[in-house]
Amino acid sequence: MDHALSGNVAWVLVSAALVLFMTPGLAFFYGGMDRTRNVLNMLMMNFYCVLVIPVLWVVVGYSLSQVPFDNDLLGNLDAWMLRGVGIDDGGISLATIAYLGMFAAITPALISGAVADRMKFSAWAIFVPVWSLLVYVPVFKWVFGGWLGQRGSLDFAGGTAIHVNAGIAALAAVLVLGKRKGWPQEGHPPHSMPLVMIGTGILWFGWFGFNAGSALAANGLAAQAFMNTFLAAAAGGLAWVVVEWQRDGHPTNLGAASGIVAGLVAITPAAGYVAGASPIYIGLIAGVVCCYTVRLKTRFGFDDALDVVGVHFVGGLVGSLLVGFFADPGFFGSTFREGLLLGGGLGLLLEQALANGVAIIWSFALTYAIMRVLKATIGVRVDAEAEATGLDLALHGETAYHSGGLH
């Protein structure tokens, strides 16, 4: 086999494994922030995504979202159950399909952080595959190969297709689900900050696969995307910690973790399009902006439990729009549009705005509709007693911590 090809296949396979690891990473990131009595429910909502989406992806998801690549609105079912996908090409197709499947799995998982502490698992179990087909697949298609991508908007690893998409869907979901009892007066601190930090480390590690792997090749593009990811995460964490140290009095682990994730989300659409100091600026801006926007939920009265909107939606949107400023085709020897600050005018920025606007409208409307249908049929909310005593026991018959010798 050709050496370059085998290197590419190797890198894509490793990246796929890295992105898979991000779903458990996200599970712990959220789970540690959640309550002791609900941590297992949070873990289950996340792990469930890597149980159901891989199957859905290979049966219809991949075909509808990428076959053929340049269909404007939707693919077809030619590749259902991976028909026609062999290994004659050295495995690059199969590796890529597996890789993309990991993205499909983690995207609905992002929403779990918003609906924490009160959603029926049966409703979540239906929501995930339905949302995946009606929202994730179309938006993914439009951004990657479809009409939005064809118009020249840029999304390297899924800032729009994944983070803005899931982030605004989280808003729609919590508007239907309602606030937790006692919110916002009664709050609870994270039950395990060590779990949050473990999750953050796993997410950062996996994100190298999420971003650099999107080069779908082991080459210079992947290396720059890796470097961008490295810098934006650090800058985001630094920015958030500095802001909160100055504003609230203490530098916190949760602030560092949140800033890191905000930086990573923001660089996701930009990872293969920016260079030099741009990733640092993107990370810093995302860290500062998200540090302030997480407070909006209290101002506007929506109970986004673990700040999915404030970090993923806002971070993704900020990063995606900043591509319109910092995109540098010269560095990459490529022909994508130039950003505003590199002399490219407003063209790219406007396409970024349009692409995100379309994704926001579609995702919000469809997610709202799906939740309303679930609410009207099987119900989306647990009863008051389950909410008060805890979902781990009520929905899963499990307890997270049996402490001491009193098992």
Tokens of 208: 């190298």
Give the residue, chosen from 255, 269, 272, 283, that forms a contact with another protein under the rule CB under 8 A: 255
Decide if 97 contacts 54 (C-beta within 8 A).
no
Length, in residues, of the chain: 407
Bond preceding residue 184 cis, omega within 30 of 0: yes
Question: Binding pattern to another protein, positions 316-355, x when CB under 8 A?
Answer: ----------------------------------------
The stretch among 107-115, 169-177, 185-193, 209-217 that binds another protein (CB under 8 A) is: 185-193
- Please identify, using beta-carbon distances, which residue of 163 and 191 lies nearer to another protein: 191
Residues sharing a CB contact under 8 Å with residue 361, sequence separation 6 or more, in sequence order = none
Query: Between helices 39-56 and 92-111, what is the axis angle to 10°?
Result: 150
- CA dist 208 and 268 (Å) reads 10
Q: How far is the CB of 386 from another protein (least distance, A)?
A: 23
252 binds another protein (CB under 8 A): yes
The stretch among 37-45, 77-85, 159-167, 248-256 that binds another protein (CB under 8 A) is: 248-256
Number of residues counted as binding another protein (CB under 8 A): 18
- CA dist 392 and 395 (Å) reads 6
Decide if 167 contacts 110 (C-beta within 8 A).
yes
- Please identify, using beta-carbon distances, which residue of 33 and 58 lies nearer to another protein: 33
Query: Between helices 253-267 and 193-212, what is the axis angle to 10°?
Result: 20
- CA dist 175 and 304 (Å) reads 9
Q: How far is the CB of 26 from another protein (least distance, A)?
A: 17
- Please identify, using beta-carbon distances, which residue of 137 and 262 lies nearer to another protein: 262
Tokens of 183: 């919110």
The radius of gyration of the chain from alpha carbons, rounded to an integer in Å, stands at 20
Instruction: Reduce the secondary structure of 99-153 to three states and give it as a string.
Output: HHHHHHHHHHHHHCCCCCCCECHHHHHHHHHHHHHHHHHHHHHHHCCCHHHHCCC
- Please identify, using beta-carbon distances, which residue of 307 and 328 lies nearer to another protein: 307
- Please identify, using beta-carbon distances, which residue of 188 and 381 lies nearer to another protein: 188
244 binds another protein (CB under 8 A): yes
- Please identify, using beta-carbon distances, which residue of 31 and 108 lies nearer to another protein: 31
247 binds another protein (CB under 8 A): yes
- Please identify, using beta-carbon distances, which residue of 186 and 385 lies nearer to another protein: 186
397 binds another protein (CB under 8 A): no
Give the residue, chosen from 71, 152, 183, 188, that forms a contact with another protein under the rule CB under 8 A: 188
Give the residue, chosen from 86, 88, 185, 189, that forms a contact with another protein under the rule CB under 8 A: 189
Q: How far is the CB of 295 from another protein (least distance, A)?
A: 6
Contact footprint for another protein (CB under 8 A): 187-190, 244, 247-250, 252, 254-255, 258, 291, 294-295, 298, 307
